[in-house]
Amino acid sequence: MDKKFRFSIWYFIIAFWGLIMLQEIYLASQHLDEVPYSQFKAWLLEDKVAEVAITDTIINGKFKPAVQEEKEKWFKAIRVDDPDLVRLLEEKNVEFSGVIVSTLWKDVASWVIPILIFVAIWIFMFRRVSQGPGGSFMRIGQSKAKIYMEKDIPVSMKDVAGVDEAKDELLEVIEFLKTPEKFTRIGGRIPKGVLLVGPPGTGKTLLARAIAGEAAVPFFSISGSEFVEMFVGVGAARVRDLFENAKGKAPCIIFIDELDALGKARGAGPMAHEEREQTLNQLLVEMDGFDPRVGVIILAATNRPEILDQALLRAGRFDRQVLVDRPDRSGREAILQIHAKVIKLASDVALEKIAAMTPGMVGADLANVINEAALLAIRKNRETVEQADLEEAVERGVAGLEKKNRVLSEEERKRVAHHEVGHALVAMLIPGSDPIQKISIIPRGIAALGYTMQLPTEDRYLLTRSELESKIAVLLGGRVAEELIFGEASTGAADDLQKATNIAKLMIKNYGMSNTLGAVTLEQGLGQSMFLGPNEHASREIYSEETAREIDQEVRLLIDNQQTRVQSLLTQIKPVLVQGAKKLLADEVMSGKSLQELLRSHEEPKIKQVT
Ligand code: ADP
Ligand code: MG
Ligand code: ZN
């Protein structure tokens, strides 16, 4: 289709050019010496004229050969209304014709030229719209995805650090691409799509390229935004094209970067974007339509998995999600080492110190720190990069970082560490709480300064009263730990308090778990939609003001009780709290297991259970 179209464009251009040439000849003829009509008539009477061509306005004449020597061959006169002219011409035997052609040309030209100009402008605009170099409007439907062959990808897994969990998960993908037979022989199903999720700059794009580099397979990469065009259907055509290409090159990897640009939930937002939806649908169709055994694996990356269309995440599509998280301290050190390879370091440089200074920074930030340090060294005319340069670069980086992602002072980090260990210890000591998976004080975003990850052991549909109370206790653990160590609480516990209060309210109002108010529900029509969860606006409160006051009292009592319980618990194991926080401060992340060991080694405390 492409070629044919180009062809017809050439026709246009040739026709246009021809038209101009003809016009040119015509105009040239008009530039002949213009003689008065009377002169023309005189020549006519003198038998000097051989032939004439008469138009509406002009008479073009040609002299007889005999006269041609003294004059030019042609002449031109403005025509006047002369009824005798024709008779005279006949009389003198002059060949004559009315030249309609010239007026016809004019008519045609007056139509065609504006159209051609219009077409030219249109083409020009179109080219600009279909953006970028190489993207001409004759190639709209084609995928701009570039095929990187193995030699083009010098990246290997060695160039990625600090994201060991993600790397481990992706090793299997590499295995498969290298030896697909091994997997298909038993009939195992390979994941079709693997979605890399994580904050910006943690190395998702880098990882995808590393996989392709390791597996030595072709790598089709395209950014989600490149699919979204202004013309409906173009993005969809591009998706079709991409998959078509990829299937021909299997085993290979298709990598869609910034998947959220195209994978936003359909119908979300005020302007449902027709084009994007079509493209997304096409992607879904293509992902369903191919057999993973052909050896095409689709990788995608996003830093906003929450806005993705659910259909993209279901089994058979991007059913495997790999978290590419912010690196911890040792991870940061490893990343610094990778990037420091290209610069000359002075002997005083201690990268582990730099790693300790940069909690919250991601790979891209660290690469930047190294680069900045090198620039600083160059500015100071030094041969090597010194520790001072690196530290200065960190400070600069941190200043920028503070805006997008708070960097905590030492004092604040201490507080966060105790807070998180507080949560974790309470969860470990109170029966009925989910086990602690991981504690971290690597800040993520503005909201969470640290977090404690609890893993539910099983899916729960029913919770008992004591289990709910345990949840409240764990939520209070952070705040109580802060009070215990620093003498006062901080704003960091606001979110915990809100959650605890919500649980307490539900217990009293909805579950009838209050001693004084009894087993009545105080809220009608929880407003549960079967698939959407509770709808606050649909619920109706059905109690008097008096009862409202009682509810408030009950909620407070419930929380106070738990607070006392947690206070006495944590006071008993204060040394463990302090030790755990110290370890967490140093390592930034801590597994639940190692805290458990710390707790156990603390000479099996005789903990009174406070109820
Ligand atoms: P993302 O796609 O997650 O936003 P990128 O993969 O584009 O991040 O990372 C940008 C750059 O930062 C990389 O090219 C690399 O130089 C550096 N970088 C990021 N993460 C890492 C990492 N884990 N290890 C080594 N370098 C990293
Ligand atoms: Mg990226
Ligand atoms: Zn907390």
Break the chain into its structural domains and give their ranges.
3-103, 146-267+275-323, 329-399, 410-600
Nearest residue CA, atom 1 of ligand 1? 201
Task: Tell which CATH classification among 3.40.470.10, 3.40.50.300, 3.40.50.740, 3.30.720.210 matches the domain 3-103.
Answer: 3.30.720.210
CATH topology match: 3-103 vs 329-399:
no
**Whether 26 contacts 76, CB under 8 Å:** no
To the question of pTM greater than 0.75 for the whole model, the response is no
CATH superfamily of 146-267+275-323: P-loop containing nucleotide triphosphate hydrolases (3.40.50.300)
Determine the CATH number of domain 329-399.
Answer: 1.10.8.60
Ligand nearest the Cα of residue 207 is 1
Distance 64 CA to ligand 2 centre (A): 82
Write the single-letter amino acid at 483.
E
Indicate the top mutation candidate among 206, 207, 328 to test ligand 1's pocket, ranked by most ligand atoms within 8 A of CB: 206
Cα(367) to ligand 1 centroid in Å equals: 8
Judge whether 420 counts as a catalytic residue. Answer: yes
Residues in the chain: 611
Cβ(364) – ligand 1 distance below 6 Å = yes
Nearest CA to ligand 1 atom 14: 206
* CB 160 near ligand 1, within 6 Å: yes
Q: Is the CB of 335 under 6 A from ligand 1?
A: yes
> How far does the centroid of ligand 2 lie from the alpha carbon of residue 258, in Å?
7
Q: What's the CATH superfamily of 410-600?
A: Peptidase M41 (1.20.58.760)
Ligand 1 contact, 208 CB (< 6 A): no
The CA distance from 201 to 210, in Å, is: 15
Q: Is the CB of residue 166 below 6 angstroms from any atom belonging to ligand 1?
A: no
Q: Atom 6 (ligand 1): residue with closest C-alpha?
A: 203
CA nearest ligand 1 atom 27, residue? 363
Cα 160 to ligand 2 centre (Å): 14
Given the CA of residue 163, which atom of ligand 1 is nearest to it? Answer: 23
Question: Residue 179 has what DSSP assignment?
Answer: -
pLDDT in tens, 202-224: 999 999 989 888 888 888 888 77
Using the mean position of ligand 2's atoms as its centre, give its distance from the Cα of residue 227 in Å.
Answer: 16
Query: Residue for token digits 């309470």?
Result: 426
Residue nearest to atom 24 of ligand 1 (CA): 160
Token pair 């202004």 is at which residue?
A: 230
Find out whether the beta carbon of 468 lies less than 6 Å from any atom of ligand 1. Answer: no
C-beta of 163 in contact with ligand 1 (< 6 A)? yes
322 lines ligand 1 (CB under 6 A): no
Residue 364 CA: which ligand 1 atom is closest?
A: 12
Give, to the nearest 10 degrees, the angle between helix 574-587 and helix 592-601: 140
| 3-state SS class at 602 | coil
Report d(CA 479, CA 494) in Å as an integer: 9
| pLDDT for residue 456 | 56
Tell me phi and psi for residue 130, to 5 degrees.
-75, 30
Closest ligand to 260 CA? 2
Rounded-to-integer distance, Cα 418 and Cα 486, Å:
9
Regarding the beta carbon of 196 and ligand 1, being less than 6 Å apart is answered: no
Longest dimension (CA), the chain: 140
C-alpha–C-alpha distance, residues 138 and 6, integer Å: 7
Rounded to the nearest whole angstrom, what is the distance from the C-alpha of residue 178 to the centroid of ligand 2? 25
Q: Which of 286, 386, 420, 554 is catalytic?
A: 420
Task: State the DSSP H helix or E strand holding residue 46, giving kind and residue range, or none if neither.
Answer: none
C-beta of 36 in contact with ligand 1 (< 6 A): no
**Cβ(162) – ligand 1 distance below 6 Å:** yes
Low-confidence residues of the chain: pLDDT under 50: 1-4, 101, 131-138, 270, 446, 526-535, 605, 609-611
**Atom 25, ligand 1: which residue's CA is nearest?**
160
- Which ligand minimizes its atom distance to the CA of 209? 1
Closest by Cα among 140, 148, 169, 139 to 157: 169
322 vs 317: CA distance, rounded Å? 14
Give the number of whichever ligand sits closest to the CA of residue 198: 1
Q: How far is the CA of 205 from the centre of ligand 2 (A)?
A: 4
The answer to whether the CB of 158 is under 6 A from ligand 1 is no
The predicted structure's pLDDT at residue 364: 92
What atom of ligand 1 comes closest to residue 207's alpha carbon?
Answer: 6
How much distance in Å is there from the Cα of 471 to the middle of ligand 3? 12
